[in-house]
Amino acid sequence: MKKTLENIKKLLTFLVKDDFKYYDRVKEPDRALLIMLQKIKPYLSGKRLAFIEKAEMFLKNYDRFPEEKRKRLLKELHSVFVLKFSYKEIERELSKRKSEKLVSSFVSEFHESSEKYPLKAFLQPPETIKGLGKQSVSRLRKLGLDTILDVLFYVPFRYEDRTSITPMNLLRDGETVLVKGKVAGVVETNTRKGKKLLKVVLYDRHGKVTLLFLRPRVFGFYKKLFSRAKELGREVVAYGKVKRRGLSFTIIHPEVEIFEENKKSYSKVGVVLPVYHLAEGLKQNLVRKDVSFVVKKALPRFPEYLPDEVVDKRNLPEISRALWEVHFPSSSVEELEEFRAPCQRRLIYDEFFLFQTALALVRRRIKDEKGISFPVSEEMLDEFKKHLPFSLTGAQDRVLREIFEDMKSDRPMNRLIQGDVGSGKTVVAAGAAYLAVKSGYQVAVMAPTEILANQHFKKFKEFFSRFGIPVGLLTGSMTPKARATSLKAVKTGYFGVVIGTHALIQEKVSFKNLGLVIIDEQHRFGVKQRAELKNKGNRPDILVMTATPIPRTLALTAYGDLDVSVIDEMPRGRKPVKTKIVFDDEMEKVVAFLKKELSAGNRAYIVYPLVEESEKMELKAATDMFHFWSGKLKGFSVGLLHGRMKQHEKDSVMEKFKSGEFQVLVSTTVVEVGVDVPEATVMVIEHAERFGLAQLHQLRGRVGRSSRQSYCFLITRRTVGEDAIRRLKVLEATTDGFKVAEADLAFRGPGELMGTRQSGIGEFKIADLRRDFDVLKMAREDAFELVNRNPELTGLDDLKEYIKYRFKGNEEFIEIA
C-alpha cells in the first residue's frame, strides 16, 4: 500500500510536471491510475474514500474528455494526493479502525440467534478479523477479496463429493475416490532406487488398497495415526487419486482421517467440500482454509438485509444460513451442481432482487423528475397521419398514441419501441419528432451507422420539407466546413430535426432547445451513451427503438429502466420471406433463380461474413466475391459495399442500389441493420453457418419490405455438421423475430446475446437467466412492489448499503445511492 501510494504520486507528478511537458510520454495513464487506486482503496475510509470514488469515475470516462479537461482534473488529482494522502496518517486511521470492538468480537460458530451487526461492518478489509494471518490476508487480496463481504460472497464454483465411499473392489485407475477400511499394516521401506517410503495397507470387505507417503517429514505423524487406528480397531477414511500397479491399487499422499460416526465438525473427508476459483500461485487447500476462517468468524453476525415480508413470502432461508450452507454444504452434490439447493436459490434470488431494486429506483427517480410537457394536440396527430403515403397499422397507431401521452405529461419519457425488422418503427419515430417540432422543440435522432444515419436523413428531410421544417445531418465523415455549418444550425435552433451518429454526443454539439432524443437500434448504444445524449437538453424525452430480437424474457433485465411498447404487427400485404438452406454445390440453382428475379425488375443482396479481421483480407474477400458474382450475373449491374470503403463511396453505392442503377449489391454485413430498400426481394447469405441466428434474422429483414414475395437463401457446406443445420433450420421454420431470439438464446446462452455492449450491469455471478427465469420474475415483482411501497427504502439501511456496494462504479446506479 505504501509503495502503491508512492507510485501514484510519482506518476501524477510526472504527468503535471513543467506544465504537462511529459504528458504525451505516458500511454493510458488512466488505466495505470485506476489499477493503483483499486489497490489502495480497501485501506481508505471517509473523505479519502469518497475522493477516490470520484477520481475513479473521472478515470473511467477519461477517453471521452477533451485534453484540457483531462489536464485540469489530473492537476487536481495531483494536488489532493500530495496534500491529503500521507501514508502515516492513513495507517494511523487504519489501526484505529482495526481496534473497533465490532469486529474483534466475531464469533466462530454458527448460531442463528447471534447478535447481528450492520452490513457496513462487513465492508472493512478481512484483516480486521482477529486471528487471520498475514499470509491469509495476502492470499485473499490476490483473489480480489478486499472486504469481509467479498469473502462471504466468494461462492464456490463447484463441489467435491467426499461423502460416498467406493468399495475397494470397484477401484479404477485414475479415479479420485473416498475409501474406508481397517489398517492391515504399516511399514517403512525403501524403493529400488533407495528412496524412503511409508506404506500403509487398508482393507474392507471387498478388497484392499495401498496408501503411499513419500515425504519422510510426515512419516512420524502418519505412523502414529495409523498405528493408533490399528490398535483400537478403528476404521480410516482416505481420499485421493487411485493408481493401478499390476493387480493392486495405490493412492499416493491421500488425505486421511480416523472415521467417526456422527462427527459434526468440519473435516476434509466424509463431507462435501467447496472448490473455489484460484489465482495464480494459490492452493485450493489454503484458500479453503482462509475463506472458511473468515466465514466462520463473520457470518453468524451477518444481518438479513432483505425485508422480512419478502423472506417470508418467498420462503427463503435467512442470508447468513444460506451463505453458511454454500461454504459448508449439507446438501447432496447433485442438488448443488444443478443449483437446486435452497441456499443457492436464495443467492440467485438476491442477485436478481438487488438488480431489479436498483432498476426500480432508477426508474422511479426518472419518473419523479419533471420533464417537458409538450403542448401536443389531437389535431397535430391527425395532421401528421394525413401526410403519410400509407395508413398506420393498428400497432403503430397504438404505440404512437402511447408516445403522445408520454409527451403530453410532464414526466420525462423513457420509452423503448420494440418491433421486428420491417414492422415500421421509423414512421412512428417520425411521428414523435413531428409532435416535438410542432411544439417548438428540437429533435435529435441517433443511428448506429453512417449508412443508416444517411438513410434516415433522406427520409426525414423529404417528409419534413412538406411542413417547412429544416432537417440537418451530423456525422463523423463530414468535411470540417460542412460540420461547422451544421453545428451552428443546431445551436441556433435552425434545424428542427438533427440526424447523426455518435458524432451527436460529442461535447462540441449544443442545442438551442433539445426536447426529444430518438435512438435507433438501441442495442448498439450503451446505457451511458444514452445518458450523455440526454444531458444535452433539459431532461428531454427519450425514445429508443430496437429490432434486436432480445426476447421479452431478457428485455426485463436489459431494458429494466424503460417503458416498453411493442409493434407486433407488420404493415398490410407483407408476405413472410421464404427461406431455404442451400448447399454450396447447388449454387447454380441460386444463380438461375437470381437471374429470373432480376429480370422481373427486383433487386438482390449477396452478403458474406468477414473471414478475417485484417484489412487486406477483407479487401481481398470483398473483391473476389464481387468478381465471382459479376461473372455469374453477366448482363446485370452489380455493386460492391464493404467496411473499408470511404464513407462517401459507401453512400454513393447505397444510393445507386436504392435508385436501381445497381440491381445487385454484394456486401459485407454493413447492411445488417436498418437499411431499407423495398424493391429488394432476394437475400443470399454466404457461409450462413458463421452468423448468429439473430444476425441472420436482421439480414433477412432487409427483404420482404413490400408486398412482393421475397426470398432468403442460406448458403452453407454439406460438411458443416448437424448442429449448424439445426440452427439454420430455425430460420426456415419461422420469420418471427421473437421465436428466432428464443431459439438463439437456447443455443448460445444469454451472456452472448446481451453482449458486452450491454454495459455489464446485467451480469450475474451465480444466477443464470435461462435456468432461473422463474426466480427473476419473482424477484422483479417483489423489487418493484417494494420500491412502490417504500421508495426511500426506509428502515432498510442494510439493503441500501448492499445495493451501493454491489453497483459501485456504475454511474447510473450510483446516483441513487
Stretch that binds Mg ion, among 188-196, 330-338, 668-676, 732-740 (CB under 5 A): 668-676
Q: Which of 568, 460, 475, 585 is nearest to 516 (CA)?
A: 460
431 is a contact residue toward ligand ADP (CB under 6 A): no
454 is a contact residue toward ligand ADP (CB under 6 A): no
Task: Return the number of the residue (490 or 670) whose C-beta is nearest ligand ADP.
Answer: 670
693 is a contact residue toward ligand ADP (CB under 6 A): no
674 is a contact residue toward Mg ion (CB under 5 A): yes
CB-CB contact of 218 with 196 (8 Å): no
- CB 713 → ligand ADP: shortest distance, Å? 21
Task: Return the number of the residue (198 or 452) whose C-beta is nearest Mg ion.
Answer: 452
Q: What is the DSSP string of 531-600?
A: HHHHTTSSS-EEEEEE-----HHHHHHHTTTSEEEEE--PPTT--PPEEEEEEGGGHHHHHHHHHHHHHT
Q: Which of 537, 549, 551, 571 binds ligand ADP (CB under 6 A)?
A: 571
- CB 685 → ligand ADP: shortest distance, Å? 18
C-alpha cell at 1: 500500500
Stretch that binds Mg ion, among 24-32, 467-475, 672-680, 706-714 (CB under 5 A): 672-680
Binding mask 528-567 for ligand ADP (x = CB under 6 A): -------------------x--------------------
Stretch that binds ligand ADP, among 308-316, 346-354, 400-408, 425-433 (CB under 6 A): 425-433
- CB 420 → ligand ADP: shortest distance, Å? 7
Q: Which of 678, 677, 706 is nearest to 454 (CA)?
A: 677
Q: What is the DSSP string of 310-368?
A: HHHHTTPPPHHHHHHHHHS--S-HHHHHTT-SHHHHHHHHHHHHHHHHHHHHHHHHHHH
Binding mask 335-374 for ligand ADP (x = CB under 6 A): ----------------------------------------
323/149 Cα distance (integer angstroms)? 11
- CB 10 → ligand ADP: shortest distance, Å? 53
**Which of the listed partners (Mg ion, ligand ADP, none) does 229 bind, with a CB threshold of 5 to 8 Å by partner kind?**
none
CB-CB contact of 429 with 542 (8 Å): no
705 is a contact residue toward ligand ADP (CB under 6 A): yes
Task: Return the number of the residue (181 or 674) whose C-beta is nearest ligand ADP.
Answer: 674
**Which of the listed partners (ligand ADP, Mg ion, none) does 333 bind, with a CB threshold of 5 to 8 Å by partner kind?**
none
Q: Which of 393, 486, 565, 735 binds ligand ADP (CB under 6 A)?
A: 393
> How many C-beta atoms surround the C-beta of residue 129 within 10 A?
21
329/354 Cα distance (integer angstroms)? 24
For residue 165, give the DSSP letter: B
**Which of the listed partners (Mg ion, ligand ADP, none) does 705 bind, with a CB threshold of 5 to 8 Å by partner kind?**
ligand ADP
678 is a contact residue toward ligand ADP (CB under 6 A): yes
Task: Return the number of the residue (41 or 705) whose C-beta is nearest ligand ADP.
Answer: 705
- CB 419 → ligand ADP: shortest distance, Å? 5
Burial environment of residue 270 by CB neighbours within 10 A (0 to 12, 13 to 18, 19 or more): middle
**Which of the listed partners (Mg ion, ligand ADP, none) does 678 bind, with a CB threshold of 5 to 8 Å by partner kind?**
ligand ADP
253/269 Cα distance (integer angstroms)? 14
CA distances from 547 to 85, 574, 694, 770 (A): 50, 17, 10, 21
Q: Which of 330, 283, 324 is nearest to 161 (CA)?
A: 330
CB-CB contact of 806 with 764 (8 Å): no
**Which of the listed partners (ligand ADP, Mg ion, none) does 641 bind, with a CB threshold of 5 to 8 Å by partner kind?**
none
560 is a contact residue toward Mg ion (CB under 5 A): no
Q: Which of 415, 413, 762, 676 is nearest to 566 (CA)?
A: 415
76/415 Cα distance (integer angstroms)? 39
Binding mask 394-423 for ligand ADP (x = CB under 6 A): --x----------------------x-xxx
Task: Return the number of the residue (357 or 455) whose C-beta is nearest Mg ion.
Answer: 455
Counted residue by residue, the chain has a size of 817
CB-CB contact of 484 with 464 (8 Å): no
Q: Which of 160, 235, 532, 676 binds ligand ADP (CB under 6 A)?
A: 676
Residues of the shown chain interacting with ligand ADP in the complex, contacts defined by CB under 6 A: 390, 392-393, 396, 419, 421-427, 547, 571, 674, 676, 678, 705
Residues of the shown chain interacting with Mg ion in the complex, contacts defined by CB under 5 A: 674
